[in-house]
Amino acid sequence: MTKHWVRDVPLTDPANYIANGNHMMANAVTYHFLRVAGWRLLWECDGGRGSAATDPNHVPDGNVQVDSTAFWASYNGGTVSKDVVTVHSGTRSLKVVAAGAGEGVVSDPFYSMANAVSWTTGTGDTLSGPVGREMTYYDDTTRFSSGSWAIGSYLAFSGNSDPNNDGEFVISRYINGNSVKFENPIGSPVVYYNWTPPPPVDVASVQFRPRYEVAIWAATNVAFDVEVDQGDGSYVNIGTIPSNGVVFTEYNFFFRRLGSGGSTIRFVSQGAGTMYVGGINVYSSRFEKPALLKSGTDGVITNPDQFSSGSFTFDDSDVGRVLFLWDGTYNKNSGAYVITGVAAGVVTLDLRSGSAALVNSNNVRWRLDTIDYLTYPNYSYTDLLSYCGFGLESPHTSKWRFFLRQSQPNGQTGKGSIIWSAPQDTDFDFSSGNFRKSGPSTQRNRQVDWYMIPDSAIATGEHLIRGGYSYKTSPHDSRCFMMVDEDGAFISVFTWDEDGNHGCYVIGWITSALPGLESFHQATRWEGRGVANESFFDNSADRFSSSGTTFDSEDNAIPFCIAQLGIGLIAYDTIEVETQSNAGPNPWSGKEWLRPLIIWRDTEGNRQSAAIQITDCGLYQGRSNMVELTTFDSDGFLHLDNGLIWEWSGETVL
């Protein structure tokens, strides 16, 4: 199968930040590359409900599984109940019967919502720019401390002397506690003064408006308006759920918070009929950030490193951002590239290679995001960031699902991202993102039942990744690599860390040698959040290789490890082919000897053991004493660390 790669996205944390943003940046690279590869967004969450919340959904009973209507009230005569027949997920749905137009249901107030904040510009505040489409707002009162979570929300200005500075603008970057950038390509610089006398006085009113996304799964035979109290005591229509033949369908809306009051959602019928609500998820988007998203399918690549879009004009503000490309024609064009320059809407990309050159191509899928330590901080700031997550569905025919949620309970010492997956489109809880036990997933069963404790310093009974994120106060560099195949069968992620604590995982259909779901594997760290190199092959649960999850013939989750090749008599009892001190290439030809990874499944020996070589995913082991991040065999392979080797694109790496 044709592979696509992310070739070495640099993730750097400067010296004076203890945030060490590498962790979340790597997750963001993964997210955006999969999205541009055609993966479907199923679920997102923020951490606004607090670090201990296993249910991050802001909607009370958002998954509608409570066996009562305690969190829901009739609106204007609508009949509200829980239904156990017409169900989309779990065992219940929220049933709303309207005898006529105007009837419906209203929720309890949302949990833990961020409030709108209003203020008047003070002396010393400034607007500068625009540079490209971005202006910078400087606030002299450090109003934006811990404010990177606000990216994708809005600043609304009024009262500026230049009307082009008035309006609602999406916040695009966080700079520091004083400053953010927002998108307004036609504004003008202002130095605000706010004292009397003397005139002139240049003062503006500003409101920060948190944005929340609303995902609703509903089946109805009549249209319902969706209305939200935005915290200012009045409802606003944020969209309509059309009559859909009572087929559960996902609808996506959003709203802004305009005040500090409670927010509720209500569904108001446009006529007589019945609607079943399968779930409602309200979250502040940390990964997709729809208000800020720039993407398209009209990318034009020009050899060797130029890119442009017919529908979007890149500008100077895009320098430093990361452009994610997916080229279905020339797979080696795909990747994630830092933009190093812009001229007339055409960007120049950093290919991170001495040999790489992109091939001319059209209709390339692309999306743009800012991947830096300010946008995706690893730690500090707020729970909203520390506990955010996403769920994606692969374009593979199996529709396998990949969920990730950050979990950083103890700051620098407790960082990790919990990862869970399902080999098919297994039903999941719309609130927590957990898979339901009715279908196969890594959470279904193992030696101990899988459960997620986002606030636990020592993760127990769960898969996670951790590598690459040790605390440092000096500049800290990481480099993110990915390998996926064209049809989305599997993903491989490796985040190199300058301290040697590399993050590493592989998930998906990595072999076709076994029947049914037995070919699906998730190789990620199991339990424990101590700093460790996950690209390693000993028996520590810290390694991606030691305790993965796969499935038996009854679709139950069982453990596996990535087995090793032992050699020799008693003297070499604990030595391996690849770990011999003198391990080298073949003496006759000088070629490296690689072998596909070997899966030893059912390592606990309870059900169905097997040992197979996985030959379908470009993953190999070679000698462990090779220099890390080196390519060989005409750059057809990349040694990551400790003998873990990927099929590679034929390009050198830095």
Q: How far is the CB of 616 from another protein (least distance, A)?
A: 16
DSSP conformation letters of 431-495: TT-PBPTTS--TTS-SSS-----TT-SS--S-EEE--S----SS-EEEEEEEEEETT-SEEEEEE
Binding residues for another protein restricted to 540-599, rule: CB under 8 A:
545-546, 561, 563-570, 572-577, 579-589, 591, 593, 595, 598
CB closer to another protein, 85 vs 571: 571
Phi-psi region of 130 (alpha: psi -120 to 50; beta: other; left: phi over 0): beta
Which of 149, 60, 51 has the alpha carbon at shortest distance from 111? 60
Q: How far is the CB of 518 from another protein (least distance, A)?
A: 8
CA distance 97 to 86: 13
CA distance 51 to 49: 7
CB closer to another protein, 131 vs 575: 575
CB closer to another protein, 241 vs 640: 640
CB closer to another protein, 109 vs 528: 528
DSSP H helical segments within 301-444, as ranges?
383-386
Stretch that binds another protein, among 22-30, 315-323, 413-421, 610-618 (CB under 8 A): 610-618
CB closer to another protein, 37 vs 563: 563
CB closer to another protein, 531 vs 561: 561
Q: Are residues 305 and 260 in contact, defined by beta-carbon separation less than 8 angstroms?
A: no
Binding residues for another protein restricted to 209-268, rule: CB under 8 A:
none
Long-range CB contact pairs, 627-632, < 8 A, 24+: 628/496, 629/479, 629/496, 629/653, 632/592
Q: How far is the CB of 246 from another protein (least distance, A)?
A: 42
Q: How far is the CB of 612 from another protein (least distance, A)?
A: 6
Cα four-point dihedral sign 65, 67, 68, 71: negative
CB closer to another protein, 111 vs 537: 537
Q: Is the peptide bond before 130 cis (omega within 30 degrees of 0)?
A: yes
Binding residues for another protein restricted to 477-516, rule: CB under 8 A:
514-515
CB closer to another protein, 406 vs 524: 524
Contact with another protein (CB under 8 A) among 449, 538, 554, 633? 538
CB closer to another protein, 196 vs 582: 582
Q: How far is the CB of 536 from another protein (least distance, A)?
A: 8
Binding residues for another protein restricted to 386-405, rule: CB under 8 A:
none
Q: How far is the CB of 607 from another protein (least distance, A)?
A: 8
CB closer to another protein, 350 vs 592: 592
Contact with another protein (CB under 8 A) among 270, 603, 631, 649? 603
CA distance 54 to 387: 10
Q: How far is the CB of 420 from another protein (least distance, A)?
A: 23
Q: How far is the CB of 269 from another protein (least distance, A)?
A: 54
CB closer to another protein, 29 vs 612: 612
Q: How far is the CB of 572 from another protein (least distance, A)?
A: 7
Q: Is 610 in the site for another protein (CB under 8 A)?
A: yes
Q: Which amino acid, 163?
A: P
Q: How far is the CB of 628 from another protein (least distance, A)?
A: 17
Buried b (16+ CB within 10 A) or exposed e, 375-408: bbbbbbbbbbbbbbbbbbbbbbebbbbbbbbbbb
Q: Are residues 595 and 620 in contact, defined by beta-carbon separation less than 8 angstroms?
A: yes
Secondary structure letter of residue 628 according to DSSP:
T
Contact with another protein (CB under 8 A) among 51, 412, 556, 608? 608
Q: Three-state DSSP class for 27?
A: helix
Stretch that binds another protein, among 290-298, 315-323, 487-495, 538-546 (CB under 8 A): 538-546
279 membership: H or E segment, kind and range: strand 273-283
Number of chain residues interacting with another protein (CB under 8 A): 50
Tokens representing residue 530 in the block:
């101590």
Helix H, strand E, coil C: the string for 485-499 is ECCCCEEEEEEEECC
List Cα–Cα distances, 498 to 14, 414, 417, 478, in angstroms.
Answer: 13, 19, 19, 6
List contacts with another protein (CB under 8 A): 514-515, 536-539, 545-546, 561, 563-570, 572-577, 579-589, 591, 593, 595, 598, 600, 602-603, 605-612, 623
